[in-house]
Structure 1
């Protein structure tokens, strides 16, 4: 199945519904991205690299229009709340599927969950960079590569270091990306284990992990934050 057309117009929906809808569309369009364990992991990482530049990331101007009157920390809180709702919705779906007597295509289901959660967390990280005035330079693809690196390392980008915003993922970065996806997949396994299954478990694990990621990235970005009034108009 082809990747979904990723859109985010936000009309008629709350912020949390918007993030959850994005997660469902990505997961629904993931197709059978899993084969064997290694093959599935490679497929998910390549799909994420291909998908990232097409995930809608709101710039600072759009975010301030969507959340008028909020300071950076309050705006970041809103983004984290919405993203955790999105990843929790995906985790709940996997937990519910695991409760079936014979879980259908569970390997593919788990791979699709991993891709959807990674995509939502990628969007969160990209928009947090906008909030803290640390936007990656370059084209949409160059920014996507930079934010994938930030997701992989669970930290903010360093715009003063060209290697951190390179337009192409190096072999080392791809290995780190696969390792990050593997860790993310392993943390999802309890939702599929007998006697430890259910929608509540899947949602809770995803919510916890997304919040932890956001906390680490925000702590790093606060040390590099550029005040809004110091940003150029085009930012």
Structure 2
């Protein structure tokens, strides 16, 4: 999940191979844990919570270096575009895998695990995007990897930016309300992934389009919150106007 979420330039073959490997691992877990937990979103939420501290998050300096010195809204636009491309690619890869499964019906037994894998990877990509948007807008989220992971998961589940001054916004564990929101959000993404099960490559096209639109919509909501949390700079003085300085008295 870390590689699938963190590598902006991953080629299609590698992405498909890693997605298939994750689906196989999830299939083994489903047999061991039971399908009910997956169906209710509990297992998916638990897996994403465990993975969150390990999702690679770049600081502002690294982001600017990686994206050729872009700053502010231009850098934020670039991050959203990259994340949208990544979730689009995951939807396309999932649809391609589904097309293979429809050609070989016995493999349809792996479809639930494939949907779970797509859901987790899309969620991880969007969590990474949200975390890095906070860096761009100067909203510092301090704490351990676990606390930061919990904060960004809550931000993703609620589709809101983080307010570090809000009581309880930075804790090392998700509260009951946050866990419930996370499970519901995972189920919504899982439902979106169902489109990749369409026959032949129609699922790939539908999954790619839905993922791109949903990632952009999420980014717009979070960016609106983050803009509101950054104090606006004072307006520049008008021509001939002296800056408003405090009196020496």
TM-score with structure 2 length normalisation?
0.78
Partner of 1:36: 35
Take 1:58 and 1:203, find their aligned partners in 2: how far apart are those partners? Answer: 25
Please identify which structure carries the higher helix content: 2
Take 1:175 and 1:182, find their aligned partners in 2: how far apart are those partners? Answer: 11
Q: Which moves more between the two structures, 21-30 or 120-129?
A: 21-30
1:204 equivalent to 2:209? Answer yes
1:190–1:196: 8 Å Cα contact kept in structure 2?
A: no
Deviation at 1:149, TM superposition (A): 0.5
Deviation at 1:202, TM superposition (A): 1.2
Q: Any idea what the Cα deviations from partners look like across 1:3-41, whole Å, max 9, x if unmatched?
A: 767895x7xxxxx41598789757743522545254352
1:23–1:120: 8 Å Cα contact kept in structure 2?
A: no
Q: Which moves more between the two structures, 46-55 or 61-70?
A: 61-70
1:87–1:117: 8 Å Cα contact kept in structure 2?
A: yes
Aligned residues: 220
- Aligned-residue RMSD, C-alpha: 2.8
Which entry has the higher C-alpha Rg, 1 or 2?
Answer: 2
Partner of 1:232: none
Take 1:5 and 1:205, find their aligned partners in 2: how far apart are those partners? Answer: 22
5+ residue gaps, structure 1, are 11-15, 229-235
TM-score with structure 1 length normalisation?
0.82
Q: Any idea what the Cα deviations from partners look like across 1:119-172, whole Å, max 9, x if unmatched?
A: 000000000000000121211211111110000000100111131122211122
Are the structure 2 counterparts of residues 26 and 123 from structure 1 closer, same or farther at C-alpha, using a change threshold of 3 Å? farther
Q: Which moves more between the two structures, 194-203 or 171-180?
A: 194-203
Take 1:88 and 1:223, find their aligned partners in 2: how far apart are those partners? Answer: 29
1:90 equivalent to 2:105? Answer no
5+ residue gaps, structure 2, are 234-249
Deviation at 1:193, TM superposition (A): 4.4
The DSSP-based 3-state class of the residue aligned with 1:198 is helix
Alignment map for 1:38-187 (pairs within 5 Å)? 38-40=37-39, 41-99=41-99, 100-101=102-103, 102=105, 103-187=108-192
The DSSP-based 3-state class of the residue aligned with 1:137 is coil
2:162–2:169: 8 Å Cα contact kept in structure 1?
A: yes
1:22–1:86: 8 Å Cα contact kept in structure 2?
A: no
Take 1:22 and 1:227, find their aligned partners in 2: how far apart are those partners? Answer: 41
Take 1:65 and 1:223, find their aligned partners in 2: how far apart are those partners? Answer: 26
